[in-house]
Chain A
Amino acid sequence: MAQDPIHQFHISQLVPIEIGGLDFSFTNSSLFMVATAAVAGGFLYMTTANRGLVPGRMQSVSEMSYEFVANMLRDGAGSQGMRFFPLVFSLFMFVLVANLIGMFPYFFTVTSHIIVTFMLAMLVIGTVVVYGFMKHGLGFLKLFVPQGVPGVLMPLVIAIEVISFLSRPISLSVRLFANMLAGHITLKVFAGFVTSLGALGALGVGGAILPLIMTVALTGLEFLVAFLQAYVFAVLTCMYLNDALHPGH
């Protein structure tokens, strides 16, 4: 059990709640989602509560995260995109903090479950669709009609474009989920080699150094991936929001 690499993703009920035959239990996943929101919100609040014109160390971290997301959004969706800043910033902070919290030993990684990342992706795509139709009406459908395509090919191209659009939430969620899942499993497998080799006696302990080095290196890589995936998620959100703002290619 201790070396089962999948065991870390096990969902356990903490407070069983059942409403109308449906399971609404407060699980360890819910607990870590609450913790993620609390840590992200608490950090931003605490660091900007006693803010000064010249930022302190922690305040400048908050300001850097703001600047980072704001620049990303301006580059990806133009200055009009800034109206979506609260959404993009919340998503970025949630994914980033959830990934980083998952790096603690014995902690649960919220983003390693596809349903969580899929709902985040659906939130983005839902915003794109609703805002696109609200702002442009049926003109939003121009998104699916590339320019300069011969009329005969039009139905085929439109069908492909529609499927391509529908595949966005899936690829967005699968990418984040697969990265976190695969990374944590790899880490656990290599760490498992250390203990199983160590149980083999003196030679095994000597050999266990190799997977130990690998585990240390992978831990560093995982921190990079944790940040990179939050960044990628936010960048793609900006790109999709750009489609909602300017659908006519």
Chain B
Amino acid sequence: MSNGPPRDDSENTEPDRDIFDDRELQARRDRLASNLAKLRKRSKSEEEGGSTSARSGWGLAVKVSSEFIAGITVGAILGFGFDSYFGTSPWGLIVLLMLGFAAGVLNVLRAVGKVAEPPKL
């Protein structure tokens, strides 16, 4: 131990130690794996919970309003395009604006989680 390099020490003088080391190593590896699995599970649940709690009121306001406005905007653009293409003004705009309104409401309800999402695979 005192004179030889550490490599000699483990190879020659103490063959028992090798087995002990292996067993020890295996045990440590198992412990590490179970710890990691625990950590993974926890971080996953933390993230799911955190996504709602960490969201500030301001963030929620921008999120919901952007969803709603986006629906109406798309409806208006589609309606305007439909009208100018087929010359049916103003009916396309009227109908698609209302559909856009409905889509905006659907977006908002989805954003705040009031619509049951399909189970994720």
Which residues of A are in contact with B by a Cβ distance under 8 Å?
Answer: 71-72, 75-76, 78, 156, 159-161, 163-164, 166-168, 170-171, 174-175, 178-179, 182, 224-225, 228, 232, 235, 242, 245-246, 249
Contact = CB atoms under 8 A, between A and B. Distances in A.
A171 B44 contact: no
10 contacts: A71-B43, A156-B99, A160-B102, A160-B103, A166-B74, A167-B107, A171-B69, A171-B71, A242-B120, A249-B118
Interface in B26-71: 43-44, 47-48, 51, 54-56, 58-59, 62-63, 66-67, 69-71
A166 B99 CA distance: 12
B71 A178 contact: no
Interface string B72-90: 0111001000000000000
B97 to A, nearest CB: 10
Nearest to A169: B70
A71 B44 contact: yes
A182 B62 CA distance: 10
Given A163-B75, A249-B118, A170 B70 contact: yes
Contacts of B74: 163, 166-167, 170
A146 B63 CA distance: 24
Interface in B92-121: 96, 99-100, 102-104, 106-107, 110, 118, 120-121
Contacts of A71: 43-44, 47
B118 A232 contact: no
A183 to B, nearest CB: 9
A174 B106 contact: no
Main secondary structure of the interface of A (DSSP, over half): helix
B44 A163 contact: no
A160 B106 contact: yes
B62 A163 contact: no
Contacts of B73: 167, 170
Contacts of B71: 163-164, 167, 171
Contacts of B102: 160, 163
A175 B60 CA distance: 10
Nearest to B102: A160
Contact of B44 (A75, A161, A167, A225): A75
Contacts of B96: 163
Contacts of A170: 66, 69-70, 73-74
Contacts of A168: 70
